[in-house]
């Protein structure tokens, strides 16, 4: 009798640990998010990363912008700084950037750091809102620092809802099963009114572990069946992009 009770208790504890690890999506945050990717002018990569460390984050905060995370690609041939900001709304975002651009403190920083030439060649922007798939986005610093993966899914025409449903019903649980940590899930806001994309970030102990976990995920019979059943009428995506990233030493999420 006691052995059966012990076995039942052990099972319940294991079950609760799995449940707690899976995102518990509720009502998504109303925040407006922006991914910004900075491409440096030749030889200025380190200077861009350092300018954010010394000056930019503080001035962003001064103007009501929320620093979410700052990363650089693990592939060191890709000279990019990737970061995410959050705002109360699109209107608040525009007002904050206008105030930031005209701030005398920021103008002085630009004059000082660009005395020998511009640091930024160009900037890519992605505007997003939180998906109901997303866990609460927590600005946590883990030790040792984790490796992050930014994944962008371009849905097949008319398939965004089906893609989100597959994540909701199957993918999230399977990611957790295979050792991946959910950071955040968003859908893009396309300026041309086109179909939004799904953007999400996972955390892994390392890039090698992340790739290993994805290989295991793809071979999982539960996933194979879910993918097959969900794609009876055609694939749900036309393109999947993945970037493995290292957090900077000043990133709120590490």
Give the pLDDT confidence of 77-135 residue by residue, as tens digits: 999 999 999 999 999 999 999 999 999 999 999 999 999 999 999 999 999 999 999 99
88 contacts 32 by C-beta, under 8 angstroms: yes
Reply yes or no on whether the pLDDT at 39 is more than 90: yes
| pLDDT score recorded for residue 209 | 98
113 contacts 41 by C-beta, under 8 angstroms: no
Reply yes or no on whether the pLDDT at 247 is more than 80: yes
Please provide the average confidence, as pLDDT, over all residues in the chain: 92
What CA–CA distance (Å, rounded) separates 182 from 175? 8
| pLDDT score recorded for residue 51 | 98
Q: Which residues, including other chains, have CB under 8 Å from residue 7's CB and lie 6 or more apart?
A: none
Exposure of 44 by Cβ count < 10 A (0-12 exposed, 13-18 middle, 19+ buried)? Answer: buried
Reply yes or no on whether the pLDDT at 42 is more than 50: yes
Please, what are the domains in the chain? Answer: 32-128 (3.30.70.100), 134-247 (3.30.70.100)
| pLDDT score recorded for residue 25 | 53
Q: What is the pLDDT of residues 162-220, one digit of tens each?
A: 999 999 999 999 999 999 999 999 999 998 888 999 999 999 999 999 999 999 999 99
Q: How confident is the model at residue 41 (pLDDT cuts 50, 70, 90)?
A: very high
């Amino acid at each position: 009798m006691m052995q059966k009770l012990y076995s039942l208790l052990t099972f319940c504890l294991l079950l609760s640990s799995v449940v707690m690890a899976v995102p518990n999506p509720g009502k998504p945050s109303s925040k407006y998010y922006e991914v910004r990717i900075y491409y440096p002018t030749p030889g200025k990569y380190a200077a861009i990363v350092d300018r954010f460390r010394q000056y930019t984050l503080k001035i962003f905060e001064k103007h009501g912008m929320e620093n979410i995370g700052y990363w650089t690609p693990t592939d060191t041939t890709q000279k990019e700084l990737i970061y995410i900001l959050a705002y109360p709304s699109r209107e608040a975002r525009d007002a904050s950037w206008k105030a930031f651009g005209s701030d005398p403190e920021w103008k002085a920083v630009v004059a000082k750091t660009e005395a020998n030439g511009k640091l930024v060649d160009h900037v890519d922007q992605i505007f997003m809102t939180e998906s109901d798939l997303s866990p609460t986005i927590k600005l946590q610093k883990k030790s040792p620092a984790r490796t992050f993966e930014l994944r962008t899914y371009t849905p097949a025409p008319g398939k965004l809802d089906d893609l989100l449903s597959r994540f909701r019903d199957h993918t999230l649980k399977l990611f957790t099963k295979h050792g991946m940590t959910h950071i955040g899930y968003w859908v893009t806001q396309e300026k041309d009114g086109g179909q939004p994309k799904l953007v999400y970030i996972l955390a892994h102990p390392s890039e090698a572990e992340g790739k290993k976990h994805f290989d295991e995920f793809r071979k999982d019979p539960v996933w194979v069946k879910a993918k097959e059943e969900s794609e009876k009428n055609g694939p749900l995506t036309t393109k999947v992009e993945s970037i493995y990233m290292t957090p900077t030493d000043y990133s709120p999420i590490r």
